[in-house]
Amino acid sequence: MSTKANPGKVRQRTYFANRDLLVMAVLSGIGGVLSTYVGYLGNLLNRIFGVPFGAGQFVSGLHVFWIILAAGLVRRPGAAAIAGLLKGVVELLTGSTHGIAIVLVSLVQGIVVDLVILLMRRHGPLVYAVAGGLAAVSNVVVFQLLYFSGAPLGYILFVCGLALVSGCLLAGLFGSGVLDLIAEAGLLRLKSGREAAEAEAGWVAERGRSGKPAWVKIIVVFVLIVAFSAGAIYYFAVIFEPPWGGPQCRVEGEVERELSFSLARFADLETTITAELKGEVTHVPPQEYTGIPVKEILREAAPLPGASVVKVIATDGYEVEFALDEVMADTLMVLLEEDGGLRLIAGNYAGGYWVKLVSRFRVE
């Protein structure tokens, strides 16, 4: 006797529902775009504290925040890893200064979040805090493994500590608070039938009631979102310059002739120097660099009398400042093409002044 299933009654079940996929895609897209802005905030902190990297880990949790949201809303193993992978791809396509490495970094962050939730076997503020903190730390570890910065172990551990705190607060606890609001508003219905009831019942059991009026949380989250969004809009409208347009540069400000150029324009002035990068936490032994002397580029633009400062600005908003008269006499400062962008080699200055992805010289 044989049995034959009726194709019309067989219901194929997929691991992720369509709404799950939509949630992961939307959060990854938003997070990928805004992570470029978060990188800019990190650069600002580095400048304030006078270090080439590390201080920006104060905001590293914001990179993981979107992955925590995806994990909390979808609530299936693998959701965070997929969200991290998609987020990394979006960052790459929108001009991340880290290149293809950002895809690996973001994927590892998602995997870490998935593993923590899987090992702790629940969702909740503590789990998200641990997951967010460790995922933010993985960002530091992966970059060190990829680029071998040569920074002292003590400094790396300090930076990891900053990332851990940021991940716990800005990714884990802030993400948990946002998920609370979604649950209290009755929006946490990404499944149907018995699965939805079990998920929401489990959520309430794990989360409990905070005792705070929902409107207080809503106001706090709303203010944070508005402030963050306003900064992001300003950054993308005024500061950010997508690097996919090719290695172009401008000289602007107090000059007789504003320039927009590629290095080929100054090919006959190309020179080779020997410089040693002496950073506070990094060191690159003396080696040769071939590029265009910055003083020749500025001489072509002709700074106006009274101008005293030249700022070098990267595509992501990072900038450094030099005394104009010192630059015009500097024989160890060249602009060269590297990894598809323009890099400033400043042999007489610390490593923080060796700017990558240069886009503008502003004379003031």
Per-residue pLDDT tens digits for 85-97:
999 999 888 767 6
Strands 358-363 and 309-314, sheet pairing: antiparallel
Average per-residue pLDDT in the chain? 80
C-alpha neighbours within 13 Å on the C-beta side of residue 305: 0
- If one compares 77 and 247, the residue with the highest pLDDT of the two is 77
pLDDT above 90: residue 293: yes
pLDDT over threshold 90, residue 244: no
Residues 220 and 128 in one domain: yes
Which pLDDT value is given to residue 100? 81
123 pLDDT higher than 50 = yes
Identify whether 13 is part of a domain: no
65 & 133 share domain? yes
- Give me the mean pLDDT over the 260-271 stretch: 90
**Burial (Cβ within 10 Å: 0-12, 13-18, ≥19) of residue 298:** buried
pLDDT at 326 (0 to 100) = 95
Round to whole Å and give the CA distance between 343 and 38: 22
Same-domain status, 166 and 215: yes
Burial pattern 267-278, b for ≥16 Cβ within 10 A else e, equals eebeeebebebe
Domain boundary pick from 213, 239, 265 = 239
Residues 126, 255: one domain?
Answer: no
The most distant pair of C-alpha atoms in the chain lies apart, rounded to whole Å, by 100
Domain final residue pick, 184, 207, 239: 239
| Single residue among 183, 207, 239 that ends a domain in this structure | 239
- Which residue segment(s) compose the domain that 213 sits in? 18-239
- Mean pLDDT throughout 166-176? 90
Quickly state the pLDDT bin for 351 (edges 50, 70, 90). Answer: confident
219 and 358 assigned to the same domain? no
pLDDT above 80 (res 214): no
In this predicted structure, what is the pLDDT of residue 206?
A: 47
pLDDT of residue 279: 65
- Record the pTM: 0.67
Same domain, 98 and 231: yes
Residues 219, 301: one domain?
A: no
Average pLDDT over residues 214-230: 73
Task: Give the pLDDT confidence score for residue 136 in this predicted structure.
Answer: 93
Confirm whether 164 is domain-assigned: yes
